[in-house]
Structure 1
Amino acid sequence: MTVYFTKDHEWVRVEGDTGTVGITDYAQGQLGDVVYVELPEIGRTVSQGDELAVVESVKAASEVYAPVSGEVVEVNDALNGEPGLVNSGAEGEGWFARVRLSDAAELDALMTEAAYKDYVASLA
């Protein structure tokens, strides 16, 4: 199980041919209290960089971009009733969707956890 990160602060945890997608702890901290999450439809096909979901906080609405291409095979319905899970568990319980990867080579364009930490440190 490997986790990859984007410069837009999404993560994808890859297990087999499926990636679980969410936003990073850094991103939820920038957003503030999350009040609503719009999840993608199961069966929808996304390309890397496409809008996958929308997260709304008391500060702003932000798009969540697909870090990988593929088909949405599951969404985190718990967020519909409890969007605050994004704040309390951004890189755990607060995941958005699971995507069956159509091109594993796309992972090469993403950052490792160490590279992402360096990237976030450079933003300060």
Structure 2
Amino acid sequence: MNTIPADLKYAESHEWLRLEADGSVTVGISHHAQELLGDLVFVELPKAGQALAAGEQAGVVESVKAASDVYSPIAGEVIAVNAALESAPELANSDSYGEGWFFRLKPSNPAEIGGLLDASQYAAEIGA
């Protein structure tokens, strides 16, 4: 699954964002990012209720090869985290755009979403 879903927005730091029907956004790391990292062995997630600024570190992923920060693509309040990743971080490898999501935000300024990359811009960014 090396496709870049067209319905998502992307940050240059390789996080994806999906706008949900209730106005919240779901955030994860791209397939490209998890591929570069390799097999994930640990994920640190933000806390529910935590306020994040756009570009602020929201968590950490560790793989057999490296550790990398995960950033919030937009500002908002964390309203949910994917607790399944804590015991099964490999979900971000096997289903990066589905069950491997990291956290959900209530956006502070939904207009920030428009400043993120679309699928074709992200593909160009990563040379896909």
Scaled to the shorter chain, the TM-score interval is over 0.9
**Gaps in structure 2 of 5+ consecutive residues:** 1-6
Does residue 86 of structure 1 match 2:83?
no
Instruction: Write the mapping of 1:30-49 to structure 2, written as runs, cut at 5 A.
Output: 30-49=36-55
Structure 1 distance, partners of 2:56, 2:18, is 18
Does residue 4 of structure 1 match 2:9?
yes
The residue type equivalent to 1:12 in the other structure is L
1:120 is aligned, of 116, 123, 126, to 126
State TM-score, norm by structure 2. Answer: 0.91
Which aligned segments of 4 or more residues in structure 1 are displaced greater than 3 angstroms? none
Structure 1 distance, partners of 2:27, 2:111, is 17
> Percent sequence identity over matched residues?
45
Structure 1 distance, partners of 2:91, 2:24, is 22
The Cα of 1:29 is off from its aligned counterpart by 0.3
1:34-83 deviations in whole A, cap 9, x for unaligned? 00000110000000000011100011110000001100000001001100
The residue type equivalent to 1:66 in the other structure is S
The Cα of 1:91 is off from its aligned counterpart by 1.4
The Cα of 1:114 is off from its aligned counterpart by 1.5
Other-structure match for 2:104: 98
More strand by share: 1
Structure 1 distance, partners of 2:63, 2:124, is 26
CA RMSD of aligned residues (A): 1.1
Structure 2 distance, partners of 1:32, 1:4, is 23
Moved more, 44-53 or 105-114: 105-114
The residue type equivalent to 1:38 in the other structure is E
Aligned length: 121
What SS class does the counterpart of residue 22 from structure 1 fall into? strand
Other-structure match for 1:77: 83
1:7-46 deviations in whole A, cap 9, x for unaligned? 1100000114211000000000000010000011000000
What SS class does the counterpart of residue 34 from structure 2 fall into? helix
The Cα of 1:118 is off from its aligned counterpart by 1.6
